[in-house]
Chain A
Amino acid sequence: MLFSYILLSGITTGALYALVALGIVLVNKATGVINFAQGELFMFTGFVAWSLHVQFGIGYGPTLILTIASGFLLGALTDRIAFQPLKNVDVVSLVLATVGIAFMLRGIARIIWGGKGDYLTFPPITSPEPIMVGDLMMIPQQLAVLAGAILIMLVFAAFFRFTRAGKMMQATADNPKAATLVGIRTDRIYTLAFGAGTAVAAAAAVLAAPLTLLYPDMGFSFFIKGFAAAVLGGLTSLPGAILGGLLVGIVEALAAGYVASSLMEVSGFVVIMLVLLVMPSGLLSVGRLRRV
């Protein structure tokens, strides 16, 4: 009973990490870099959704769409400001620029929303009444998060497989020079990838906000956990990101349940170090080597 309860809570937190990891993987898949502002973009779009939904009283559906659209714009802006001018310079400048953006977003969020209470609550999409699954009590919102993560994964899997833009993105990721040669405008593909990555973060933020509450410092720990999940899945695999997220969530719930609850916060660090040192290509690509 205790075990299955812990497992369940691990899966639902894991779904949150999986959502963040999806955004990281999406950007990495197309551009080969990690957007260090991903966690802050997640936090920021969450606050945008809060303003739309709670302050302006816009319905849930339109809020979701508007938030995703604003996420896409923010991501595209990040790409145009930090990635495009620096992609041929060096990785140090690129990382420092995205770190700069991350702190700016954090500060702006603190200035705009920080005065409205430390933790902002976001009303759940689904009914707040817990439902019983067998002996286990579940909050419907947790199921919505899990379903959202799987839905987003399927949408992007279909996008990469069936659409022209998705194929162009994969071509750019495989070989930017060859992609340019066959007429793909790689700059636009990069913008699209950053935009899509942040749009995913925005969708994730809307789904997650009712569970996590909103606060300006939330971005970083979600970024670290999301990166842990992404790196477990191999950094370029969408199903890997989901699997990695769930695993990180379960491991952390088990550690919290059986050892000490404060251990939850270090799971990201432990997973990242172990995976990068022992298995740098992730769980799903055992046997393949990668330069890290």
Chain B
Amino acid sequence: MALFGRRNTLLVLLAFAAILPLWANSYQLYIGTLVVIYTLLAIGLNLLLGFAGQLAFANAAMFGIGAYGTGLLQVQLGWPFAIAFPAGAILATAVGLAISLPALRLSGLYLALSTLAFAQFTQWVFLHWEAVTFGAGGFKTPAISFAPLPVSKPVGLYFLCLVIAVGLYAFARNLVASRTGRAFVAVRDSEVAAQSLSVDLLRTKALAFGLSGFYAGVAGGLYSQTLNYVSPEGYDLFQIVLHKAMIVVGGMGSVAGSVLGAGIIILVLEALRAVKGAQEVVFGGILLVFVLFLRGGLISVIQRYVPGWEEPLHAAPPRAGPAAEPVPLATPTAAERASS
């Protein structure tokens, strides 16, 4: 393993993260918690979009469902966080599985639009199902205490997030190296070829949607506890561009890239905290520039110049050069549709 390889670098980052509470003030600790939570979101979205190739926009909705599920179970039913949190994550997983049903029939643009509409629908439910969700004003959630342990709530929560994130990072790394991970990549690169290799499309896509829902749900539950406040605008459309920017900046189809992307995007977000318009311009611009000029994300640059970061199986497939047969347009054209 090279000195600056992936494992060493990430271990250094982890060691830094572990000692952060020793010297960080409460704001820095809050940023640290956010980075860890968004890392979870980015890994989940990357499994779905970067590995399985499903262009879905429902990640922000799942994040919200995890947060609302966790918070509402505590507030409405009086469940303790230790039970409400996994229940919220399971709820988000279930919704993820449910929206994978249309995904089997739709692809590309149509999947994108139907999941985008679903995200808007989720916002509507948060806003208008006032009897349960408290509407536009949101609600407060009770703060957990780590009573037997000698830590304050923010520090305890930070370590909880960190432990969960490390566990789920390791899980994702192993998953994408397994048969399932290879099935994801096969489905992304060609559904027909994947089927001919006896990859079950329905199961694989459903698994990808469920997993990304689970990651987003876990992140949502932790996020609701970080703020101790849940309201619809925390999970609105802006989150979509944020999540997409994280995996595009980090690198699609790279678990380690998700970590880098989440860290960078959250730091930029905090730097621009004051101006909403500037945030939208900057993140929209980041998304555009990376898609146009650095499609592999930062991880592709690192992989080219630093040894020890290779992920040979899961990199995006090489694109046809100018001399090769031109790839057909993104979707079938009108005539092809009519004739098929």
The stretch that binds A, out of B5-13, B165-173, B281-289, is B281-289
B323 contacts A by Cβ under 8 Å:
no
Residues of B within 8 A of A119 (CB): none
Contact with A along B274-297 (1 / 0, CB 8 A): 011111111111111001100100
- Cβ < 8 Å to B, chain A residues 54-98: 81-82, 85-97
By a beta-carbon cutoff of 8 Å, the part of chain A in contact with chain B is: 29, 31-34, 36, 81-82, 85-97, 99-111, 114, 173-177, 216, 220-221, 224, 227-228, 231, 236, 262, 265-266, 268-269, 272-273, 276-277, 280-281, 288-292
Contact indicator B284/A272 (Cβ below 8 Å) = no
- A216 and B278 alpha carbons, distance in the complex (Å): 13
Given contacts A90-B330, A111-B278, contact A99 B102 (CB under 8 A): no
Q: Give the residue name and chain of the A residue nearest to B241 (CB).
A: A103
User: Nearest 8 CB-CB pairs, A to B?
Assistant: A107-B280, A103-B284, A110-B277, A100-B287, A107-B281, A100-B288, A104-B284, A111-B277
Distance from B279 Cβ to chain A, minimum over Cβ atoms (Å) = 7
Residues of B within 8 A of A266 (CB): 120-121, 124
Contact indicator B330/A91 (Cβ below 8 Å) = yes
Contact indicator B102/A85 (Cβ below 8 Å) = no
From the candidates A82, A92, A110, A292, name the one contacting B106 in the complex (CB within 8 A): A292
Q: Give the residue name and chain of the A residue nearest to B316 (CB).
A: A90
| B interface residue count range (under 10 / 10 to 19 / 20 to 34 / 35 or more) | 35 or more
B109 contacts A by Cβ under 8 Å:
yes
Given contacts A91-B55, A272-B113, A292-B110, contact A97 B291 (CB under 8 A): yes
Contact indicator A272/B117 (Cβ below 8 Å) = yes
- A231 and B106 alpha carbons, distance in the complex (Å): 13
Contact indicator B124/A290 (Cβ below 8 Å) = no
Distance from B235 Cβ to chain A, minimum over Cβ atoms (Å) = 14
- A175 and B279 alpha carbons, distance in the complex (Å): 40
Residues of A within 8 A of B117 (CB): 224, 227-228, 268-269, 272-273
- A105 and B285 alpha carbons, distance in the complex (Å): 10
Contact indicator A100/B284 (Cβ below 8 Å) = yes
Q: Is the interface of B mostly helix, strand, loop or mixed?
A: helix
- A185 and B112 alpha carbons, distance in the complex (Å): 30
- A114 and B240 alpha carbons, distance in the complex (Å): 21
Residues of B within 8 A of A36 (CB): 112
Given contacts A272-B113, A288-B338, A290-B337, contact A89 B329 (CB under 8 A): no
- A280 and B319 alpha carbons, distance in the complex (Å): 30
From the candidates B107, B116, B288, name the one contacting A292 in the complex (CB within 8 A): B107
Contact indicator B49/A291 (Cβ below 8 Å) = no
Residues of A within 8 A of B292 (CB): 81-82, 85-86, 97
By a beta-carbon cutoff of 8 Å, the part of chain B in contact with chain A is: 49, 53, 55, 102, 105-110, 112-114, 116-118, 120-121, 124, 127-128, 237-238, 240-241, 244, 248, 252, 275-288, 291-292, 295, 319-320, 326-327, 329-338, 340
Contact indicator A87/B329 (Cβ below 8 Å) = yes
Distance from B239 Cβ to chain A, minimum over Cβ atoms (Å) = 11
Given contacts A33-B330, A89-B319, A104-B288, contact A95 B124 (CB under 8 A): no
Question: What would be 6 A-B contacts, judged by CB atoms less than 8 Å apart?
Answer: A32-B330, A89-B319, A99-B240, A107-B281, A288-B338, A290-B332
Contact indicator A32/B334 (Cβ below 8 Å) = yes
Contact indicator A81/B288 (Cβ below 8 Å) = yes
Contact indicator B287/A96 (Cβ below 8 Å) = yes
Contact indicator B113/A34 (Cβ below 8 Å) = yes
Additional A-B contacts beyond A33-B330, A231-B113 (14; CB < 8 A): A32-B332, A33-B329, A86-B291, A95-B55, A101-B284, A103-B238, A103-B287, A104-B280, A107-B281, A110-B277, A269-B124, A273-B102, A277-B106, A289-B340
- A110 and B282 alpha carbons, distance in the complex (Å): 13
Contact indicator A175/B333 (Cβ below 8 Å) = yes
- A97 and B241 alpha carbons, distance in the complex (Å): 11
- A227 and B281 alpha carbons, distance in the complex (Å): 24
Distance from B10 Cβ to chain A, minimum over Cβ atoms (Å) = 26
Distance from B308 Cβ to chain A, minimum over Cβ atoms (Å) = 28
Q: Give the residue name and chain of the A residue nearest to B247 (CB).
A: A96
